[in-house]
């Protein structure tokens, strides 16, 4: 599943002792395993191999340039949601013909840039957006390629904040509206309608809602084809869940076994846009225990990482395993319930509540597991904290792939007007 393993009672990432990196690079920092990253990409590609899909890694999960470059070099395309992600996608050498662009709020400028770069297509989320793309394409005297993002109204059984495929969500276009758009498509003279897109949510454990959504879209495509409305691409989105705690998500193979037969012989070009599945288990946060604080009611382990570095527990109540780097130094008979918390001035700043951990001491290092996806990409400078460094391991070598912020980074963009000087 991943390349973070204990050897002789010490946590290793591939062939490197994580403790050695912790001594070299000050904590907290993100640590990525190149092998795990590529392993997951290839696993998915192999599972869906018979469809020869285009896999567009969803950059929002982790847009570190080295992560994106590694995947691009392995043949991945990229799923983007902003002008910033387009900029980074092109910087890592991704072919525009492998870039798909979703987002309910694309600005005119972002649309213009993406059309100018000739990306594969926009995943269009509303009629007004389509009108704007048509107008911008007309200004540029070109035709823009789009896939309509369908909201299939299914329940993906995940956290409500990351459910996207129900009609109460802001995402996508309902079937009836999509039908009306497609039957009147000739009115949009600067749009090529290339396909359909869906993305029903994230951290989906059960394949059933996914299957239901794919079937709904395939039924719709049949109806369209009967009316001579051609659909070339079907983008089935991302959302594959991973193991954080004791979930039993579908493996890539199990998932593919259920989905591939539905899509075989449809003549459709298939796109997948996974983020978490590829990068989630390929990263950890390494943090140091600053204090162990006992109060009349609680034991707090106060670490040097905070919710600004990793917001998932605070925002979604997400579970992440927390492992000591050197369990041998720890007395397992003295296991205690701890709240593992950061230094930030909010009670929401926690990584675990009432978690049973072996007795830990000040100065010990801990690994917060499975934080490769939506970890650094959601980090901030809240409390004027420096966003952490990111390090990548490949075999027995380590590479700093992003330096820790500096104090100068904190003030670089601030401007004090003359009257305050
Ligand atoms: N495609 C679209 C259109 C998306 O909105 C997303 C994720 C993906 C693909 C990739 O989904 P994945 O394969 O990673 O599940 N911050 C949350 C997750 C937000 C997901 C947003 N959209 C978290 O930490 O759980």
Determine whether the shortest distance from the Cβ of 156 to ligand 1 is under 6 A: no
Nearest alpha carbon, ligand 1 atom 7: 202
309 CA to centre of ligand 1 in angstroms: 18
**Pick from 108, 122, 124: nearest CA to 173:** 124
Distance of CA 66 from the midpoint of ligand 1 (Å): 20
Question: At which residue do the structure tokens 């600005």 appear?
Answer: 107
Question: CB atoms < 10 A from the CB of 192, how many?
Answer: 15
Paired tokens of 351: 């990584």
Token pair for 354: 């009432």
The length of the chain, given as a count of residues:
421
| Cβ 276 under 6 angstroms from ligand 1 | yes
Quote the CA–CA distance of 6 and 11 in Å, as a whole number.
4
Q: What is the pLDDT of residue 360?
A: 87
For the segment 233-282, what is each residue's pLDDT rounded down to a tens digit?
Answer: 999 999 999 999 988 888 999 999 999 999 999 999 999 999 999 999 99
Matching fold, domains 4-31+280-411 and 34-276: no
Does the beta carbon of 272 sit less than 6 angstroms from any atom of ligand 1?
no
Q: Residue 208: enclosing H or E segment and its boundaries?
A: helix 207-226
Query: What is the pLDDT, as a whole number, of residue 248?
Result: 85
DSSP readout, 43-56?
HHHHHTGGG-PEEE
Q: Which pLDDT does position 75 carry in this prediction? A: 98
- Helix or strand run (H / E) with residue 22: helix 18-24
**Ligand 1 lined by 375 (C-beta under 6 Å):** no
Nearest CA to ligand 1 atom 8: 238
Which atom of ligand 1 is found nearest the CA of 239? 15
- CA R_g for the chain: 23
Concerning whether 68 is annotated as a catalytic residue, the answer is no
For domain 4-31+280-411, the CATH architecture is Beta Barrel (2.40)
List the residue whose alpha carbon is closest to atom 6 of ligand 1.
238
Tokens of 44: 């998915």
Determine if ligand 1 sits within 6 Å of the CB of residue 201.
no
Provide the residue ranges of all domains of the chain, joining segments of one domain with +.
Answer: 4-31+280-411, 34-276
Residue tagged active-site, from 13, 68, 94, 345: 345
What is the CATH architecture of 34-276? Alpha-Beta Barrel (3.20)
Query: What whole-number distance in Å separates Cα of residue 364 and Cα of residue 54?
Result: 44
- Blockwise average pLDDT, block size 10, the chain, 421 residues: 92 98 96 98 97 98 98 98 98 98 97 98 97 98 98 86 86 96 96 96 92 97 95 97 89 94 97 98 98 95 98 97 81 79 97 91 96 98 98 98 98 98 94
Pocket flag, ligand 1, residue 79 (CB < 6 Å): yes
């Amino acid at each position: 599943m991943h390349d973070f393993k204990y050897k002789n009672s010490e946590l290793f990432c591939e062939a490197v002792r994580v403790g050695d990196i912790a001594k070299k690079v000050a904590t907290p920092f993100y640590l990525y395993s190149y092998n795990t990253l590529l392993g997951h990409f290839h696993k998915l590609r192999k599972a869906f191999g018979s469809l020869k899909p285009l896999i567009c890694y969803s950059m929002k999960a982790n847009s570190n340039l080295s992560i994106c470059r590694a995947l691009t070099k392995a043949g991945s395309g990229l799923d983007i949601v902003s002008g910033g992600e387009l900029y980074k996608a092109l910087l890592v050498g991704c072919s525009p013909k492998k870039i798909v662009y979703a987002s309910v709020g694309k600005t005119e400028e972002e649309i213009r840039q993406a059309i100018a770069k000739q990306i594969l297509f926009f995943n269009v989320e509303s009629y007004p957006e389509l009108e704007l793309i048509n107008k911008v394409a007309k200004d540029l005297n070109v035709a823009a390629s789009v896939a309509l993002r369908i909201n299939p109204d299914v329940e993906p059984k995940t956290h409500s904040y990351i459910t996207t495929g129900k009609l109460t969500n802001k995402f996508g276009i309902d079937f009836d509206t999509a039908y009306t758009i497609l039957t009147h498509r000739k009115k949009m003279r600067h749009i090529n309608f290339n396909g359909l897109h869906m993305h029903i949510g994230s951290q989906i454990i059960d394949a059933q809602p996914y299957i239901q959504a794919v079937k709904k879209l395939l039924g719709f495509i049949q109806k369209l084809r009967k009316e001579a409305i051609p659909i070339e691409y079907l983008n089935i989105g991302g959302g594959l869940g991973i193991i954080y705690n004791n979930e039993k998500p579908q493996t890539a193979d199990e998932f593919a076994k259920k989905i591939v037969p539905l899509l075989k012989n449809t003549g459709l070009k298939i796109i997948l846009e996974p983020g978490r599945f590829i990068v989630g288990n390929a990263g950890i946060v390494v943090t140091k225990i600053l204090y162990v604080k006992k109060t009349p009611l609680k034991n707090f382990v106060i670490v040097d990482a905070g919710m600004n570095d990793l917001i998932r527990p605070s925002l979604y109540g997400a579970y992440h395993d927390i492992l000591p780097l050197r369990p041998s130094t720890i007395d397992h008979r003295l296991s205690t319930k701890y709240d593992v918390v950061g230094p930030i001035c909010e009670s929401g700043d926690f990584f675990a509540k009432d978690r049973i951990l072996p007795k830990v001491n000040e100065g010990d290092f801990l690994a917060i597991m499975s934080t490769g996806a939506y970890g650094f990409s959601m980090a901030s400078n809240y409390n004027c904290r420096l966003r952490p460094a990111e390090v990548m391991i490949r075999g027995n070598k380590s590479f700093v792939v992003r330096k820790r912020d500096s104090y100068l980074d904190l003030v670089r963009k601030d401007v004090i007007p003359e009257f305050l000087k």
